[in-house]
Structure 1
Amino acid sequence: MEHTTITFEERLLEPQDFARRIGRVAARYPWLVLEENGKTIGYAYASEWKSRSAFRYTVESSIYLHPQAPRRQDCGKVLYGRLLSLLAREGYHKVIAAVTQPNDASMALHHGFGFVTAGYFHEVGYKFHDWIDVAYLELGLEKPSNGVY
């Protein structure tokens, strides 16, 4: 977190602050954790995209993987696939993802699930004394008939 632009957090959150964040988001949206041998190696979640009621069927998704996660790409596919499946079953229509740039691995993961680039914002984040771009991607969800996304 302190050494990457993958997240715009500028300081490591205290465990109780992170737990509060999880509780606030998970009260309404899915928050998934992937563990291996008792260690958290990644998490993915959905959150409110916009607060106006007309946006209630659209969510923003996020995924974070430990840099040394074994089979990192597979971990991302497992987490994101499960998250998208849950969101589709819960009746959400659209998923928005914001990906800091450059981030080829995250872009490949999103494109692999069918996300398309919907916008690109130049220099909207500032971290490590540098301006950072963010790509916005979108995915339309269909409620799966077989329960599997």
Structure 2
Amino acid sequence: MIRTADKSDADNIADIYNYYIENSVISFEEKTVSGADMRRRIESVQESGLPWVVAVEDDVVVGYAYATKWKERSAYRFSVEASVYLSYQKLGRGLGVRLYETIFTSLQAAGVHTVIGGIALPNPASVALHEKMGMTKVAHFEKVGFKFQQWHDVGYWQRHLTTEV
């Protein structure tokens, strides 16, 4: 089941995210986040009018996706950055696609024109997900993140949801 996230999901979301902070370069954060930190993030996204959704199995959050403003300047108001995270135990089951489909539908209904996704590279699974969602690679920045004592590249993919404003 996919539904809108609420504050009670924050601890489970933090657990999912902290796995990636501690064990991968998928997130460039280096310190784990608390449930309270995640609660504030969820509230901030939702208060800005953007979606944050969760995938739930057996009453447990097993994945989530959300969108944030791409940049603060007014002219960027029709562009967002979207992210999806899954419990590492639930990968490869189509949850990422279902979460992104839900987010993209919501964003399109809200008049968002462009969705952007950033991916720490290499990450073939995330690249495949973004391209399956109709996103196209538009940028590659070399050695822009430094984590686990080495440099990492980041690529950006985008998709236009609407043809007009």
Q: TM-score, normalised by structure 2?
A: 0.83
Q: Which amino acid aligns with 1:98?
A: G
Would you say 1:56 and 2:74 are equivalent positions? no
Deviations 1:64-112 (A, max 9, x none): 111101x634101110011001101110000111001011111001101
Aligned to 1:64, what secondary structure does the other structure show? strand
Would you say 1:107 and 2:121 are equivalent positions? no
Q: Which amino acid aligns with 1:65?
A: L
> How many angstroms apart in 1 are the aligned matches of 2:116 and 2:51?
15
* Contact in 2 for aligned 1:61/1:95 (Cα 8 Å): yes
Aligned to 1:50, what secondary structure does the other structure show? coil
Deviation at 1:142, TM superposition (A): 2.6
Deviating above 4 A after TM superposition, structure 1's stretches of 4 or more consecutive aligned residues are none
Any gaps of 5 or more consecutive residues in structure 2?
1-20
* Contact in 2 for aligned 1:47/1:61 (Cα 8 Å): yes
Higher helix share: 2
For residues 125-144 of structure 1, the aligned pairs below 5 Å read: 125-142=145-162
Q: TM-score, normalised by structure 1?
A: 0.91
For residues 35-74 of structure 1, the aligned pairs below 5 Å read: 35-69=56-90, 72-74=92-94
Any gaps of 5 or more consecutive residues in structure 1?
144-149
> How many angstroms apart in 1 are the aligned matches of 2:93 and 2:146?
27
Aligned to 2:117, what secondary structure does the other structure show? strand
The Cα RMSD (Å) is 1.2
Deviation at 1:38, TM superposition (A): 1.5
Would you say 1:24 and 2:44 are equivalent positions? yes
Deviations 1:38-75 (A, max 9, x none): 21111000001011101100001011111101x63410
Aligned to 2:64, what secondary structure does the other structure show? strand
